[in-house]
């Protein structure tokens, strides 16, 4: 028996900067997972994944990641995705540095 479909977000890495990015409902890429489109239908998820893979000039390593609805938007269900969304772990730069100066 196949496993039940769980909600997903489309994620990848930005081609130039390498940052983790997510596909929003308006077809833009965002660096904030909370702004990503939470996909609850398997057929729609496969279609969105195929569309995102065609945007090779913008993103690499496109895949579907498990997510769950949160109070401010999609939240990761796996530690790997939670780790990816926080940014590099070697020192504060990029979105980690910006968060320290708020």
Do the domain assignments include residue 3?
A: no
Output the CA–CA distances (angstroms, integers) from residue 31 to 3, 7, 19, 86, in the order listed: 30, 19, 7, 10
Q: Name the token pair of 63.
A: 């895949």
Residue 93 has pLDDT above 60, yes or no: no
What's 35's DSSP letter? G
Does 2 fall in a domain? no
Q: Determine the pLDDT at residue 98.
A: 66
Q: Which domain holds residue 51?
A: 8-100
β-strands 59-69, 74-76: how paired? Answer: antiparallel
Judge whether residue 90 has pLDDT over 70: no
Q: What is the predicted pLDDT for the residue at 75?
A: 95
1: in domain: no
How sure is the predictor about 86, in pLDDT bands with cuts at 50, 70 and 90?
confident
* Inside any domain, residue 57: yes
Looking at the structure of the chain, the number of domains it has is 1
């Amino acid at each position: 028996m196949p496993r039940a479909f769980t909600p997903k977000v489309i994620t990848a890495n930005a081609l130039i900067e390498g940052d983790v990015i997510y596909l929003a409902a308006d077809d833009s890429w965002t660096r904030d997972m909370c702004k990503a489109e939470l996909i609850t239908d398997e057929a729609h998820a496969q279609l969105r994944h195929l569309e995102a893979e065609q945007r090779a000039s913008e993103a690499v390593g496109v895949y579907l990641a498990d997510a769950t609805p949160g109070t401010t938007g999609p939240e990761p269900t796996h530690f790997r995705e939670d780790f990816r969304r926080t940014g590099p772990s070697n020192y504060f730069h990029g979105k980690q540095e910006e968060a320290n100066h708020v």
